[in-house]
Structure 1
Amino acid sequence: MPGAYGSEIMREGQRYRLSFTVGGLLAPQGRILASLFMADGGSSGDLHAPGAELGERIACIRQRAIDGDVLAIRTHAANVRMVREVLKRLSALTERELRYLAAAGTPMDDCRALMWLAMCRYYAIVGEFADEVLRDRYLMGMPTVTRGDHDRFILAKSMWHPELEELSPATAGKLRSNVFKAMGEAGLVEKTDGTLLPSLLGAPLTAILECRPESFAYFPIREH
């Protein structure tokens, strides 16, 4: 499906993707499917620039992941939803990032950071919140990020994006909860009170992200 894969690049009049109602960060699931993709051959890399995102290529393992129930999800419908969601997010990573995510020796903290990066790239509204609120508050020395901060951010964005105004209270609450769940699982905030936690990206991951330095804007870290 055109436009369903890779980073969401916002243009005038474009509506935000707002389907992140599943699961939070999905780091364990992301690592499993990344490993499956690499074991399946991934790609030779010869035809793709090192910084190019996987895009629709990642979808090649979708049916295999579902049929094999590699995520060990009880019902078929839930399995399909989860595989689809994880693959959409992985599509926004580069092959080098995906290889690092799949590698057995990669620290879990770096895997979580990569899945946060994938979520921020695939869902522009999440990436903008990370850049404009999460990181800004950290740089300004503010100790927390709250659900009220998120509500104010969404309200401001809704002036240009009517799809945000059209969200039901239940859906808006679910989206907000999943953003905070993902941030907590990624170790960016304390799960209990929203205290900001500086990101400590591993040296190998930092070197990988140097290829796309805008990626650092999604984390509570000082200017890189």
Structure 2
Amino acid sequence: MQERWGVEREQQDTRYRLSFTVGGLLMPQGVVCARRFVDSRPQPDVPNVPVGAAIVSIRDEVVDSNMLAIRTVSANRRVTAEVCKRLSALSYAELALLASDAVSPQDRRYLMWIAMCRYYLFVGEFASEVLRERFLLGETISHADYDRFVLNKALWHPELESVSAATASKLRGNVFKAMREAGLVEGDPRGVCSIVPAVFGSLLAALEGPDSAASSFFPSRGPMN
């Protein structure tokens, strides 16, 4: 299967990318890979567009040097590939901020959530249509909310119906794990979770801007800064 990079966009007859079965948010791994990418090349003339397949340039080095400190070769390759795919949806400027020592750990988590939401359209739509809306309506979210979202999307994306029960459970669990690790929800992971409003730090707010499309991925009632 041909590898796909960058932001996933809704197109007619396009199947969702549904490979987010492991890893949660992968923030520490994302920082390592972002640093290697930024260190390996100068800033491009247009630093605010997704880097796309250019991220491939670091993948083999990250694996061969075991930069992510993963015990088995197979797991190392799998996690590195997943991290690189998500980072391909960030711009050079966003990767540079992710790699910077000046940015807060929380903003790093937000950047990795942005990466996941952009690379996986399904996750991005869940974030904007369910997580954000549930926060505006009642400030809680549950597995039942996720399941209703899947049923609704399956009307236009029949590939969701072909996913096995075990894989569907992994996908749901990993979305909720990523939200918890991003600091967006807290509470019982198998029950009703409280939604935590997101507030960008000054560096991330300045980079994304007040009208950034990325703000739709976060629970907030107003400006993100």
Aligned residue in 2 for 1:153: 149
The offset of 1:191, in angstroms, is 4.1
Q: Which residue of 2 is the match for residue 55 of structure 1?
A: 52
Partner of 1:93: 90
**Quick check: 1:7–1:122 contact (8 Å CA) kept in 2?**
yes
Cα separation, 2, equivalents of 1:116 and 1:176: 15
Answering whether residue 199 of structure 2 is matched by residue 203 of structure 1, we say: no
The CA deviation at 1:178 is: 0.2
Segments ≥4 residues shifted beyond 2 Å? none
1:122 aligned to 119, 122, 125, which one?
119
In structure 2, the residue corresponding to 1:190 is in which secondary structure?
strand
Q: Distance in 1 between matches of 2:211 and 2:112?
A: 16
Q: Does 1:104 align with 2:108?
A: no
Name 1:40's counterpart in structure 2: 40
Alignment of 1:159-198 (within 5 A): 159-192=155-188, 193-198=192-197
Normalising by structure 1, we get a TM-score of 0.94
Post-superposition offset of 1:10: 1.2
Structure 2: stretches of 5+ with no match in the other structure: none
Shift of 1:210: 1.5
Identify unmatched segments of 5+ residues in structure 1.
none
The offset of 1:138, in angstroms, is 1.1
Please tell me whether the aligned partners of residues 25 and 112 of structure 1 are also in contact (alpha carbons under 8 angstroms). yes
1:195 aligned counterpart, secondary structure:
strand
Correspondence 1:3-82 to 2 at 5 A: 4-41=4-41, 43-46=42-45, 49-82=46-79
Spell out, residue by residue over 1:79-106, the C-alpha distance to the aligned partner (whole angstroms, 9 max, x if none): 0000000000000001110000000121
Identical columns (%): 49
CA distance 1:211–1:77, change in 2 (3 Å): farther
How many residue pairs are counted as aligned between the two chains?
A: 220
CA distance in 1, matches of 2:147, 2:102: 39
Structure 2 letter corresponding to 1:217: S
* TM-score (structure 2 length as normaliser): 0.94
